[in-house]
A and B are shown apart, each in its own frame.
Chain A
Amino acid sequence: MSYAFEAEGLVKRFGTTTALAGIDLAARRGQVLGVLGPNGAGKTTAVRILATLLRPDGGRAAVAGMDVVRQAADVRRVIGLTGQYASVDEDLTGEENLVLIGELLDLRRREAKARAAELLRDFGLSEAGRRPAATYSGGMRRRLDLAAGLVGRPQIIYLDEPTTGLDPVKRDDMWNIVRRLVADGTTVLLTTQYLEEADALADEISVVDHGKVIAHGTPADLKHVVGGQTIIVRPSDPARLGEVTAILAELAGREPESPGRGVVTVPVEGDAVFTELVRRLDRAGIGVTELSLRLPSLDEVFFTLTGRTTTESDEEVAA
């Protein structure tokens, strides 16, 4: 087994607040580890320790086999950091930001410029590259942040909530960028508040709460634990809701719920049910205005794992 990064029993306290209470995180080379948790769960603190920005109070962490405390300088040569807390300079243009980072990474000015141009092109920012970053939209800003983390072609990239606050289209763009990085062999640590995002990108997911990992496994494992997916149906003719409910009850083997007027939902295990549902609806001649299969939200995951909702853990302080 070859871990790109590995943290064991990390502890970090800020005053009386315990941000990390012995967290274990690890990812193999070329894989994506999704760290899923609500605000204040300790995700960012863990990333900051792995990025050598914070010293742990207990436990140990190694990146590319190098200790994050004793060999911090070497660790910084192989990582790229992108996220809420590692920002670009808003007064500089996109290009100036990337060139500066290139120069700080010991590229010659000419090389730094070439690398900046390459990244700006790859991230669709060539036009915007000459404008100050302060003028960028949210999506452009995130892409520039990510590009800034990639200047040195790092082996390992930390993405701290890369899509929080982005609209669905921009989010998909970001996902595709992450997939391309992974395809090139980069190891990614991705923190997120969305199970959907972790499911779409991660090879393995660690669910964190109160500075500890409360569940770990592949997305499939996790979905199994939290009860798979939920089917949502809204028939075009509200009068046929009863028929839809009956079909769903039979297919799912449990009683559907109706969270709103004209809608029924039921949790299902396995994707096959969905296909069968479509067939049955078609046969019965029932038209629908909404028919979807969605993953449990973070709230539902948390409720299943801890019996609490995420808002109850929000009083924890994010580092």
Chain B
Amino acid sequence: MTSLDTGTRTARTPGRPGGVPPARSGPRPFGLIRHSVALARRSLVKTMRNPEQLIDVTLQPVIFVLVFVYLLGGAISGSTQDYLQFLLPAIMVQTVIFAGMATGVNLNTDIKKGVFDRFRSLPIGRSAPLIGSVLGDVIRYVVSIASLFVFGYILGFRVQTNPLAALAACLLAIVFAFCLSWAFVLVGMMMKEPGGVQGVGFLVLFPLTFGTSMIAPAETLPDWLQAWVRVNPVGQLMDASRGLMLGGPVASHVVVALAWSAGLLVVFAPLAVRAYRRRT
């Protein structure tokens, strides 16, 4: 190694000779938070600019509600109106969780397009781009929940408890989806193609969301499926959501859902960051 080359240097601007102070104003505190927020804003701007990206999360819950309520509602609950009350709090959970899958798909696209290489060549925390993407996608959750509730209200869904409890149900679902989305980030890091991320995502999400009491009361399911429903965290989340919106016991469901959220975050966030570091 020859002499070091870290000495101070004059600023260089194309077309402007030296004398300009360096653009970099030195280290500022809370770098990871600031960088993550700046990158989250980027995700938001992207979503706003391509609103068609929100079509899936907006239309999918509406279609599910229509299909289930009018095809199965009469058979399961005796009336479509009763069934709508039963279904909607659970569909809300499913919607939010599906919206979280997009985080992994978008990250994979970013990597393929080379945008992430730019970020990785900058002196920012390794996890900042991931945190930014996950945070920025909260907009998807909000939009999908809003469209579901507007549609549900038109069809006749009414919250039986109070708006605060309903809001708590939504927040709980968002927290869970946020934590679970780290698993999709991990998948997004490991797959070659965005389409592959989606494929794996559906494979995981179908048993998680449909293997619950979402469509029909758990008592009507076969024993082995009931066993799965009992351990499935998404089922707990749906029960919590029903309790918060329609009344009934919620405490244990909420605790279990939050515990799962914490567990998913603790396991998948570090794994995702590690996979991101390794990905070339």
Q: How far is the CA of A2 from the CA of B3 in the complex (A)?
A: 6
**What residue of chain A has the Cβ atom nearest to residue B35's Cβ?**
A104
Q: How far is the CA of A119 from the CA of B11 in the complex (A)?
A: 13
Q: How far is the CA of A78 from the CA of B4 in the complex (A)?
A: 13
Nearest-CB distance from A278 to chain B (Å)?
Answer: 36
| Contact A106-B28, Cβ < 8 Å, known A89-B115, A122-B16 | yes
Which residues in chain B, 18-35, are within 8 Å of chain A measured between CB atoms? 18, 22-28, 31, 34-35
- Whether the pair A81, B118 counts as a contact (CB closer than 8 A) is yes
- Whether the pair B9, A103 counts as a contact (CB closer than 8 A) is no
Chain A residues lying within 8 Å of B11, measured Cβ to Cβ, are 153
- Whether the pair B2, A1 counts as a contact (CB closer than 8 A) is yes
Chain B residues lying within 8 Å of A92, measured Cβ to Cβ, are 42, 45-46
Contact of A104 among B27, B117, B122 (CB under 8 A): B122
Is the C-beta of A148 less than 8 angstroms from some C-beta in chain B?
A: yes
Segment from A50-58, A214-222, A243-251, A258-266 that makes contact with B: A50-58
Is the C-beta of A88 less than 8 angstroms from some C-beta in chain B?
A: yes
**What residue of chain B has the Cβ atom nearest to residue A115's Cβ?**
B23
- Whether the pair B34, A89 counts as a contact (CB closer than 8 A) is no
| Contact A153-B24, Cβ < 8 Å, known A2-B5, A87-B118, A100-B38 | yes
- Whether the pair A152, B5 counts as a contact (CB closer than 8 A) is no
Chain B residues lying within 8 Å of A85, measured Cβ to Cβ, are 114, 117
| Contact A104-B124, Cβ < 8 Å, known A2-B3, A64-B5, A96-B45 | yes
Chain A residues lying within 8 Å of B38, measured Cβ to Cβ, are 100, 103-104
Is the C-beta of A200 less than 8 angstroms from some C-beta in chain B?
A: no
The total number of A-B Cβ pairs within 8 Å is 142
- Whether the pair A155, B114 counts as a contact (CB closer than 8 A) is no
**Number of chain B residues whose Cβ lies closer than 8 Å to a Cβ of chain A:** 46
Is the C-beta of B158 less than 8 angstroms from some C-beta in chain A?
A: no
Is the C-beta of B12 less than 8 angstroms from some C-beta in chain A?
A: yes
**What residue of chain A has the Cβ atom nearest to residue B27's Cβ?**
A106
Chain A residues lying within 8 Å of B10, measured Cβ to Cβ, are 185
Chain A: interface size category: 35 or more
- Whether the pair A102, B23 counts as a contact (CB closer than 8 A) is yes
Which residues in chain A, 108-126, are within 8 Å of chain B measured between CB atoms? 108, 111, 115, 118-119, 122-123
- Whether the pair A65, B4 counts as a contact (CB closer than 8 A) is yes
User: 18 extra interchain contacts, Cβ-Cβ under 8 A, other than A87-B118, A181-B14?
Assistant: A1-B3, A6-B1, A53-B121, A54-B280, A65-B5, A65-B6, A77-B123, A78-B6, A81-B118, A86-B118, A87-B117, A96-B42, A101-B122, A104-B38, A105-B23, A122-B15, A152-B24, A186-B12
Residues of B within 8 A of A (CB): 1-6, 9-18, 22-28, 31, 34-35, 38-39, 42, 45-46, 49-50, 113-115, 117-124, 128, 280
> What are 28 of the A-B contact pairs (CB < 8 Å)?
A2-B5, A6-B1, A29-B5, A52-B120, A53-B117, A53-B121, A65-B4, A65-B6, A66-B6, A77-B123, A78-B6, A81-B121, A87-B113, A91-B45, A96-B42, A101-B122, A104-B39, A105-B122, A106-B24, A106-B26, A107-B23, A115-B23, A118-B13, A122-B15, A153-B22, A155-B9, A180-B14, A186-B12
